[in-house]
Amino acid sequence: MIGPGVPIETAILLNEIKETNSENRTSVDYQCAMLEERHKNQECESEHLSNKIGSTKSGVGACNAERALRLVRLARQETSLKPYVADTVAEIHRALSKGRNVMVEGTQGTFLSLYHGTYPYVTSKDVTASQACSDVGIGPTDVDDVMIIFKAYVTRVGEGPLKGQLVREEVLRRGWMEHGTVTGRERRAAPFDFKLAKRAVQLNGATQIALTKLDVLIPKTKGIRDYSDLPKEGQDFVSKIERETGIPVGLIGTGAEEEDLIDRRSRSKNARTNPALVARVR
C-alpha cells in the first residue's frame, strides 16, 4: 500500500507492479500526488538544485512544492491507476482494529530531513518516523515500536557536510564504496558517528536498532547468525552503539543473503517481532 503522502510517477509504478507480479496486492491512495515530467524538467533547469544542492532531479521536490501550492493532480484523477486506487488509510485502520500487524517504512536518511537535516543539503520534506506515520495516516498512539536502521559506517551521496569523510582511495580500500540507487553517483563515506546516531534516535523516537553491513566493517563477521559467535570486536561495537544511544540493537546484518541475520529482539521488553513502524536513517 502506498499512502497519501507519497508522490507517484505512473510509468515507474506500473512497471514495478508488472516486474514484481503484484497486480493483486498493490493499493495506491486516492490522495497521492502525481509526479509528472514537468516536475523533472523544473529540477533539471534549476542551477540551485542541480549544482549546489545535488538534487537527484527525480522531480519529487518540485512535485511536493506544487502540492503545497495545491496545483498537483491526484491519483484519483489518473485513469491508468484506476485498478489500484483505494482508500489506504481506511484499509490500514481496518487492519489495526482487527489486531493485525502493520509495518510502515520511511524513506531516506534522517539527516536529509527538511527540518532536522543538514539544510540546505536536504530533501523536500521531513523524513523522520513521525512524518512516515503522517504519510500513511497513522497517529502516534497507533505505534508500538520504531525500528531505526543504522549502517555500520556512514554514507552520503551528493552535496552537504559529512564529518570524518574518508578520501576516495580509503573508501575503496575498506570496501565501503557504494552508489546512489537513483543517480548511480558514488557515495561518500565516513566511520560510524555515535553522536549522530544518538540524535537520530531522539528525532525518531526509536525503540530498537537494526544494524546493517557489520560484515563490511568487520569482514570476519560475514555470515554469522548467532550473536555469541561474533568476534569480540563485533560485540564491542554493538555494545558501544547501545551505550551511546540508550536503546537495544535488535537486528544485525552480517551479509547480503536474507538469512545472514542475527535476531536479538527478544532481549528487548519493548521490541516486538513485527514492529509497527520502521524508520530509516543514514
pLDDT in tens, the chain (282 residues): 999 999 999 999 999 999 999 999 999 999 999 999 999 998 887 766 666 666 677 899 999 999 999 999 999 999 999 999 999 999 999 999 999 999 999 988 999 999 999 999 999 999 999 999 999 999 999 999 999 999 999 999 888 899 999 999 999 999 999 998 777 889 999 999 999 999 999 999 999 999 999 999 999 999 999 999 999 999 999 999 999 999 999 999 999 999 999 999 976 544 444 445 554 444
d(CA 123, CA 116) in angstroms, rounded, equals: 11
The SS3 assignment for 107 reads coil
Contact 137, 144 (CB under 8 A): no
Task: Write down the pTM of the prediction.
Answer: 0.89
Considering Cα of 272, then 274, then 277, then 280, what sign does the dihedral take? positive
End-to-end CA distance of the chain: 24
Contact 215, 221 (CB under 8 A): yes
Region of 101 please: left (phi>0), alpha (psi -120 to 50) or beta. beta
